[in-house]
Homo-oligomer: A and B are copies of this chain.
Amino acid sequence: MPIIRVEMFEGRDRETKQTLVKSLTSEMARITGCSEGSVHVVVTDVSKEDWGIGGELAVTKFPD
């Protein structure tokens, strides 16, 4: 039943997301004792124009 949400900068491909989902799910099950089948992971890609750190947009602070 656990729900894990991940907010990160956009740009990761599907394979990376699949790897991430698999790993977070298995660690969650291993550590908390829940079943892997019950874990949801929802990934949200956030644009660097929409994320401010220390008052500055990431698009300015961390240009590609």
User: How many copies of the chain does the oligomer comprise?
Assistant: 6
A55–B1 CB distance below 8 A: no
- Chain A residues proximal to chain B, CB less than 8 Å: 1-9, 12, 14, 16-28, 31-32, 34, 36-46, 49-60
Chain B residues near A54 (CB, 8 Å)?
25, 36-39
Partner of A17, one of B1, B22, B49: B49
Interface centre among A1, A17, A28, A60 (most CB of B within 10 A): A1
Partner of A31, one of B20, B26, B45: B20
A40–B51 CB distance below 8 A: yes
Bound-complex Cα distance A3 to B44 (A) = 10
Chain B residues near A57 (CB, 8 Å)?
14, 17-18, 21
